[in-house]
């Protein structure tokens, strides 16, 4: 039930998340989004090219807020770059090994 509630909260455009509490700009220009059980680092490598790395999982509403803040950041970059950028799953293509996933 918790995951359903978190997903519903994330998908509800009227929901307000404390983005100021989870968004931490880094010295190298990246942004770190921090929740109790989830951390996501988003770095813009060049316009339209974003590297996002995550650690943890969504357990509660604060973690769902982290997810929502990351989506806002990605949407902001897509708008700024002016084009739809393709996404590539490097794990699915075998370009990167999965450690601790199996």
Q: At 52, list the tokens.
A: 């996002």
Prediction pTM value: 0.62
43: pLDDT confidence band, cut at 50, 70 and 90? very high
Q: Which of 16-20, 37-41, 56-60 has the lowest mean pLDDT?
A: 16-20
Q: Where are the beta strands (DSSP E) in the chain?
A: 23-25, 31-34, 38-46, 49-56
Tokens, residue 75 = 């949407």
Closest CA to 34 of 53, 8, 62: 62
């Amino acid at each position: 039930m918790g995951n359903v509630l978190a997903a519903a909260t994330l998908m509800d455009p009227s929901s307000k998340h404390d983005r100021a509490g989870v968004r931490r700009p880094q010295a190298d220009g990246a942004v770190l989004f921090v929740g109790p059980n989830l951390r996501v680092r988003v770095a813009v490598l060049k316009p339209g090219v974003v590297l996002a790395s995550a650690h943890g999982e969504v357990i509660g509403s604060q973690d769902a807020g982290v997810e929502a803040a990351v989506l806002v950041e990605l949407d902001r970059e897509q708008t700024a770059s002016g084009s739809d950028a393709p996404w590539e799953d490097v794990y699915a293509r075998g370009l990167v090994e999965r450690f601790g996933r199996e």
